Homo-oligomer: A and B are copies of this chain.
Amino acid sequence: MSIKRWGAGSAISRAVKHEGIVYLSGMTAEDRSAGMAEQTRQVLARIDKQLAESGTDKTRLLSATIYLSDMSQKDEMNEVWKGWIDPAHPPARATVGADLGSPETLVEIMVIAAK
C-alpha cells in the first residue's frame, strides 16, 4: 500500500497518509508571543490547512492529543476548540500537560483523521 507524505523535511513530515488515514505532526502556533486562545486558533488553522491539503477536513477527525504547557489554561484552549470543532463530529481526545520545549509554546495538537 502506498504512503503519501506532505512537508517532508530532514526529521519529520507535516502529514502522512496511508490507507485512507491521515496522521498529522504535532502542530504549534507561529506567533509564540500570543496567549493561549490565539495560539490555539493558529494551531487549528494550520490543522485545517493541512487536512485540506491531504484531501479531508475536521468533520473526519478520529482522534486528537492535545499537549498544554500549563493545564490551568485548559479552559481558554477548550473554548476555542469548541468553536472550531464540527459539533456533529468531534474526535476522541486526550489533553495533558507537558513541556513543549520553550516557555512561550503554550499548546501543541496532534490529530489523526480519515480521508
A45 on the interface (CB 8 Å rule)? no
A99 touches B101 (CB 8 A): no
The residues in A between 2 and 57 inclusive whose CB is less than 8 angstroms from any CB of B are 3, 5, 8-16, 18-21, 23-26
Q: Say yes or no: A5 contacts B93, CB within 8 Å.
A: no
Return the contact of A63 from the options B23, B82, B90 (Cβ within 8 A). B23
What separation, in Å, do the CA atoms of A78 and B87 have in the docked complex? 36
- B10, B19, B62, B95: the one contacting A16 at CB < 8 Å is B62
A61-88 at interface with B (beta carbon < 8 Å)? 61-65, 67, 71, 74, 78, 81-82, 85, 87-88
Query: What is the distance, in angstroms, from A95's C-beta to the closest C-beta of chain B?
Result: 7
